[in-house]
Structure 1
C-alpha cells in the first residue's frame, strides 16, 4: 500500500515538472480534446486593393473619382438646394402659426389663478339668480361680478349701487366657475347664504301678520325671533318642511313653486339634505334669495315642541296612507286641504324623492294626504314595468306644487 502511494506521488511530481519546463520555454500547449482551431480552419477574404498591391485610398481615387465628380455636377440648376430651402420655409411658417395660436391663450392662462374657485365663496349664476341675490340681503356681502360679452343694464345698475367691482371674463372661465352650468354669461362671487336655525315655532298674530319662533343660539340657548307673513289672502301662515331632499334641482323647483304660490317660509332638515348651493338658486330662478329659509337640527323634537307650544297643524304626504292601519284615521283627501290656512297655521312635510317622509314623522303628523292616481284605460301597446305602470307617481316638486295650490285655495 505504501509503495503504491509513493509511486503516485512520483508520477504527479514528474508531470508537474514537465509543465513548468514548457511554460518557461514559452511553448504553447493545448489539450487536443478541447482545441477548436485545429478542426475549424480560418480563412480571410482578400480585399480588392490588396489584390492589386495598392493601398485603400489610392485604389478608390483611381477607380471612383469620376463618380464623385459627376455627382457634384448632376444639379447644375440647384434644384435640390431650392427644394431644401422650400421645405425649411414651410417648417418655419408652421412653427410661426403654432406660436401665434399659443399666444391667443397666453393671457387667459395667466388670469386663471385669480379666477380659481374659492371654497369659502358661492358662485351664483344665471340672470334671475344674480338679480335676486343683489336685491336681497340674505348674504353677508358680495366680492365681484364676472361677465362675458354685454352685461345686463339691470345687473350693472344694481352692482354699481352697492359698489361691487365688475370684471370681464371669458366664457371658458365662467364655465369653470359654474361647473358648466347655464350661467347666461354672468357670475356673482358672493358669500354663502345665511339661514336661521329654529328650535320650534310659536304663536302667530293674524292681525299684524307676524309669526314668532325660538332661534337656536347655542346648545340649550334660544332667542325669540319673528318673520312676517302674508295675512291678506289667508289668516294663518303656511310653511313647507323639506325632509331629506337630496337633489338640488328638486329642492330649487320646490322653492320656486312655493314662492310663486304664496308659501311664507321654508324649513329644511340640517342633516341629509342638499346644501343651498348655486345650483339650488339657479333651479329656483332666484326664489332661494327671496323666501325665508329656516333650518331644523332635530325634526322630531321640532314637530313635538311646536305642537305643544301652539296649535300648528302638520300635514304629511304619502303615496298610500291607507296601507297601514295606524295611518288610516289620519288620511285626508286632496279636496279636504281647501281653506286649511284659514283654520290653523300649517306645515306641509315633503319627503325624500325615493323613500318619502320618514315613518316617525308620519306618526307625529296630524294628517296624511295623497295625490290620487287617475286610472287610464289600458291600451294594447302600453308598456308596463315591474308588474305595474311605468309612470305611477309625480315628481316631488310637481306633487308639492299641487298640494300647496289645494291648501291655499279658498
Structure 2
C-alpha cells in the first residue's frame, strides 16, 4: 500500500493523473495475500522486482485501458509510467486528485477573505461598542435605523436583553448577525457584539454654546470652565479628551473646524459614549473667538510642554495656578501644540512639572493624558468653590 501511494504522489508531482493502474496494483497485492490472511494456501510469490524497483516495467498489450477489463497477472503488472499518460495528462472526467484538492482550498480562501455586504441606509454611519450604542439608544440626538447583535446568547445575556428592550422602546429593528458581518460593518473595530446604524452627530455652533444651560441659570455666580481644542486630529485623542472633560465637569468643549477630527464612531467609542450625551461646539475662527471671550472678562490659559519655547507669555505650574473668573483652557495639536497666534492671545501658560529627570524623546505627555491632569487640577478648585 505504501509503495502504491508513493507512486501516486510522484505522478501528482509531475502534473499527471495516476490513472486506473495503481488501483489495479493494489487489487493484485490484496488478492495475492488473501489466502495467507484467511489461513488457506500459502502466500504466492510476488512479482519479480527489477533492480530493486517496486513494480515491473511491462505493460499489457493494448495500453492502460486493458487493465480495466482483466486484472494483470503477477508478471504483467503495469509500470509506474506510460507514455499514454504523457499524451493526455488529464483525461476527460478524471482530474488529478491533487489539483481538485488545491482548487477547493483556493475557493475556500476566497470565500473567507470576501467581505460580507450588509446594506446601509444612505447617509448613515455604524456605531460600535456597548457604551456608545446604549447611550445613543437612550438619547434623542440621532435618528436610529437598525440595531445589530451577534448571533447567540454570548457571555452577557443581561446586556443583550437590555439592548433589545431599549431598541423596542425606540422602535428600532433588531437583527442578529454573525461575527463576520459585525466585523464588516465596523471595519474590524472592537464592537463587543453590538453595532447601531444611525445618522452622524454634527458640531454645534458657537451661538448655541452661548445659551446658558439649566444648571447655569440655577447658579449664575458659578464660574465656568470651557475646554478649547486647536486642530486635534486623532479620533482616539479627541474621544479621550471628551471623556475626561465630561467626567471632570467641564461646561463646554469648543474645537476649531480647520484640520480637526470630526465626530466619528471611533471618537464615540474612544469617549466611552460621552460624545452621545456631551455637546461639542466648533468655530471657524478660533482667534476671534478667544478675543471676544477676553473682552467679556474671561481668562484664557494655554498649555505647553516645554516652557523655554514660549515667549512673552508667563508660564506657571498647574499646581500653582489659581483662577477666580470664567476660564478658557486651550489645548494644542498632538505634534505642534498651540500655534503662535493662539499663544499670544493667552494670559498665562500652564505646564505639568515632571516627577524625575526625563530622557530626551520622552519629555512630554500624550495630549489627552496631559489635558486630564490639567483639568483635574483646575476643576478641583471649582469644586472647592461649590460650583
The answer to whether structure 1 residue 184 and structure 2 residue 171 are counterparts is no
Q: Whole-Å Cα distance in 2 between the matches of residues 317 and 268 of structure 1?
A: 15
Deviation of 1:358 after TM superposition, in Å, equals: 1.2
Retained in 1: the 8 A contact 2:203–2:280?
A: yes
Map of 2:260 onto structure 1: 273
Tell me the equivalent position of 1:148: 150
The equivalent residue for 1:392 is 363
Structure 1 counterpart of 2:17:
none
Structure 2, gaps ≥5 residues long: 1-59, 78-92, 154-158
Whole-angstrom CA distance in 1 between matches of 2:173 and 2:280: 28
Q: 1:122 aligns with which of 122, 125, 144?
A: 125
How far residue 346 of structure 1 moved from its aligned partner, in angstroms, is 1.3
The structure with the greater share of residues assigned to strand is 1
SS at match of 1:267: strand
**TM-score (norm. length: structure 2):** 0.66
Structure label with greater radius of gyration = 1
Partner SS, residue 148 of structure 2:
strand
**Following the alignment from structure 2 to structure 1, what is the Cα–Cα distance between the partners of residues 62 and 364?**
94
DSSP-derived class of the 2:228 partner: strand
The match for 1:332 among 316, 341, 350 is: 316
Per the alignment, residue 83 of structure 2 pairs with none
Q: Does 1:158 align with 2:160?
A: no
Quote the Cα distance in structure 2 between the aligned partners of 1:154 and 1:406. 37
Listed as ranges, the gaps of 5+ residues in structure 1 are 1-66, 81-86, 202-211, 214-224, 379-383
Matching of residue 313 in structure 1 with residue 299 in structure 2: yes
CA distance in 1, matches of 2:63, 2:199: 83
- 2:213 aligns to what SS in structure 1? strand
Select the residue among 370, 374, 381 that pairs with 1:403. 374
Contact 1:245–1:352 under 8 Å retained in 2: yes
Q: Aligned in 2, Cα 1:119/1:238: closer, same or farther, shift over 3 Å?
A: farther
Q: Secondary structure of 1:255's partner?
A: helix
Whether the aligned pair in 1 keeps the contact of 2:203 and 2:263 (CA below 8 Å) is: no
Tell me which residue corresponds to 2:70. 76
- CA positional deviation for 1:316: 0.7
> Is contact 1:264–1:291 with CA below 8 Å preserved after alignment?
no
Q: State how far apart, in whole Å, the 2-side matches of 1:363 and 1:407 are.
A: 21
- Matches of 1:183 and 1:287, distance apart in 2: 17
Q: Does 1:298 align with 2:285?
A: yes
1:361 match: 342
RMSD: 3.8
Look up the match of 1:372.
353
Between 167-176 and 280-289, the greater mean CA deviation after superposition? 167-176
Per-residue displacement from partner, 1:177-208 (whole Å, max 9, x unpaired)? Answer: 21210001111010010331115x9xxxxxxx
User: What TM-score, normalized by structure 1, do the two folds share?
Assistant: 0.63
Q: How many residues align?
A: 296
Return the offset for 1:251.
Answer: 0.6
